[in-house]
Amino acid sequence: MITLYKPFQIFTFEKNTIMKYHSIRNLLLLLIITSLFFSCKKTETGDLIISNIEVVDVEKGITVQGQDIIINGDKIKSIIPHGTTKLQSEQIVDGTGKYIIPGLWDMHAHIRAYSHQDNLPMFIYYGITGIRDLGITNHELIKHWKGQIKNKEIVGPTIISSGVIIEGASARFPSSVVINEMEDVIPTIDSLIAKKIQVVKLFQNIPSDVFKEIIRYAKEKSIVTSGHIPPDMNQIDAAEAGLGSIEHLFNIGNTLPNYENYNFTEEQIQTLAASLVKNETFECPTMVNLEYFVKLGEAAKDSLVGAQLFEDNPKLKLTPAYFRAWWAAIKSRNMENFTEDDYTNFKQRSAFNGKIISKLHDLGVKILAGTDVPNPYILTGISLHEELEQFVKGGMSPSDALKTATLYPAQYFKHDTTLGQVANNFIADLVILDANPLENISNTQRIHAVVYNGQLHSKEALNTIKSNQIIELANYKTTDFDQYIYMDVRRNGIDAVRKKYPIVENNEKYTIEKHHLIRLSEALKDGLQPEEAVKALEWNKVLFPEDS
């Protein structure tokens, strides 16, 4: 026992009582200090705050743990270590245990949709906040959709569009603009710029001298270019002409002499890479396009596998009926004479292309992730993730594959100071993931939430997009006549399609009801094709005169 003497008072304590006294005093001091610390701590406010998340640095290929991301409007205001400031916002997302990447880009798309609602939201659902649309779809319609997206009237990604495809003589697509002579280059490109196109998309049937002049003038006007390559040019020629991006590895056979034998020398690939790097030419190989033919071979070998890949594929439930009807017809034609040798060749070609892409990337060439959606069985949104998987399968690291859909698209558009990274003052286009994509590229599909232009699409909101899509598509069947003919109408017009169907009656391929062409007419009207809409109604009047 210890006794303390003070004037007029005597305090007597047991030893353990003194220890308790000190413990309580220390605890009170700690609480006071902590309270003072937090009262002095700066408060960060934002329209949206993502708290305690692991940031994927796509440029360095690393993650940074425990970060708070403050978003105001459509920009990232600041990124700070978690716990260093007080956070204040009406929207705070707990990012604990999650990862955040820049919004993804599909750099080779053709929207070609029946309406905005059955296609555009799917990009956001799959974390794709931007697409490079390379023609065929009515450019005025795309501009209309872009305005609606900007005003938050509809859900969809940023769209950077070529408006049209530029072709030479004997154009393949009725919507294309033809430039076959040198004197037509400047006035035609000027007219497209006046219509606010943002990319020049070139086709292979343009004469090579005209092809080069289009690229030169587009570059003078600060318009990025992309395209196929004329048959008398190789990829080095295209790079030296200044082409911004080569699509589908076009004319790689003209460039690597042993390509058909699935071989190249180190000197050949280094020469190609050096030219692409020097001229800042990107490659957009669209690997999933070729993978479709590999799947055809697997389907030809085993009908059960074919059903799983195509007819019964659960991913198709989010795909519009008009795409599925179109694809089924193409697949049927492709399968007619598909042989075991075809399958072997496509499989070898796919693997070899993957090897080329990986090697070019290792040598400094920048690769762009693109899908060519909606070519057969290339699905809006999800196929971009499959493209990333193809890159890794070919030899890229997950980190490098991720660059192809984030960092490199921003560099291609020369928007790399505002897009393509999770960084201060960058556009708040972001994807929150439940797992680390640097460990497994398939983790880009484990989407927890999407932020587009600073607007949060939570898991619940994404599920609503999905359920709305399913409800919308339930109104259509692939055998509905309007769905069956839609892609043909979109490309060739009502008059050309009517000639193909002089007699329209129910059969094993399609059924016709009086509301089908009315519904088609409404879609064409909404698609800014009023004359075609009227023609659809006139056709319906012929087929169903009692409902005129």
Phi/psi at 384 (5° precision) = -65, -40
More confident position, 243 or 170? 243
Residue 292 predicted with pLDDT over 60: yes
| Token pair for 228 | 């196929």
The answer, yes or no, to whether residue 36 has pLDDT greater than 80, is no
pLDDT at position 9: 40
**pLDDT exceeds 60 at position 440:** yes
β-sheet with 128-133: strand ranges across: 104-109, 128-133, 158-161
Q: Is 411:420 a contact under the CB 8 Å cutoff?
A: yes
Binning pLDDT at 50, 70 and 90, where does residue 4 land?
very low
Cβ(206)–Cβ(168) under 8 Å? yes
pLDDT score at 8? 36
- Count of residues in the chain: 548
* H/E segment holding residue 82: none
Q: Which residues contact 342 (CB under 8 A, 6 or more apart)?
A: 293, 296, 297
Residues 238-271 pLDDT 10s: 999 999 999 999 999 999 999 999 999 999 999 9
Tell me the per-residue pLDDT of 181-228, one tens digit each, with 9 for 90 and over.
Answer: 999 999 999 999 999 999 999 999 999 999 999 999 999 999 999 999
Mapped onto helix, strand or coil, the DSSP state of residue 195 is: coil
With a cut of 50, say whether residue 21 has pLDDT above it. no
Report the mean per-residue pLDDT for the chain: 92
Residue 24 has pLDDT above 70, yes or no: no
Q: For residue range 318-367, list pLDDT tens digits in order.
A: 999 999 999 999 999 999 989 999 999 999 999 999 999 999 999 999 99
d(CA 536, CA 247): 35
Which of 28-37, 197-206, 470-479 has the weakest average pLDDT?
28-37
Rounded distance, CA 318 to CA 322, Å?
Answer: 12
Q: Which contiguous run of DSSP H or E holds residue 293?
A: helix 287-301
Query: Does residue 67 carry a pLDDT above 90?
Result: yes
Q: Within 155-286, where are the H helices?
A: 185-194, 208-220, 235-241, 252-255, 266-278
Mean pLDDT of 30-39: 51
Residue 423 binned pLDDT confidence (cut-offs 50, 70, 90)? very high
The CA distance from 276 to 263, in Å, is: 19
User: Residues 166-184: what's their mean pLDDT?
Assistant: 94
Residue whose token pair is 């899509």: 469
381: exposed, middle or buried (C-beta count within 10 Å: 0-12, 13-18, 19+)? Answer: buried
Per-residue pLDDT at 12? 43
Indicate if the pLDDT at residue 27 is higher than 60: no
Residue 543: Cβ-neighbour burial (10 angstroms; 0-12, 13-18, 19+): middle
pTM of the model: 0.90
pLDDT for res 2: 40
| pLDDT at residue 38 tops 70 | no
| Residue 548's pLDDT band (cuts 50, 70, 90) | low
pLDDT band at 40 (very low <50, low <70, confident <90, very high): low
Q: Inform me whether the pLDDT recorded for 10 exceeds 60.
A: no
Task: Classify residue 7 by its DSSP letter.
Answer: T
- pLDDT tens readout for residues 105-115: 999 999 998 88
C-alpha distances in angstroms, 408 versus 241, 380, 404, 412, 454?
21, 21, 5, 6, 21
Number of C-alpha atoms within 13 angstroms, CB side, residue 31?
A: 6
- Per DSSP (E only), the strands in 434-502 are 447-452, 455-457
C-alpha span between 284 and 289 (Å, rounded): 11
pLDDT at 459: 97
Sign of CA dihedral 91, 96, 98, 104: positive
Domain boundaries, given as residue ranges, for the chain: 2-40, 479-547
Q: Which of 407, 405, 414, 450 is nearest to 432 (CA)?
A: 450
Sequence-separated (6 or more) residues with CB below 8 Å from residue 465: 121, 122, 124, 125, 155, 457
Provide the pLDDT for residue 312. 86
HSE (CB half, 13 Å, CA atoms) of 253? 7
Which runs of consecutive H residues, i.e. helices, occur in 310-397?
Answer: 321-336, 340-362, 382-394
* 8 A C-beta contact, residue 45 and residue 81: no
User: What pLDDT is attached to residue 117?
Assistant: 87
Buried b (16+ CB within 10 A) or exposed e, 135-166: bbbbbebbbbbbeebeeeebbbbbbbbbbbbb
Q: What is the pLDDT of residues 490-504, one digit of tens each?
A: 889 999 999 999 999
pLDDT band at 3 (very low <50, low <70, confident <90, very high): very low
Q: Find out whether 442 and 389 touch, Cβ atoms under 8 Å.
A: yes
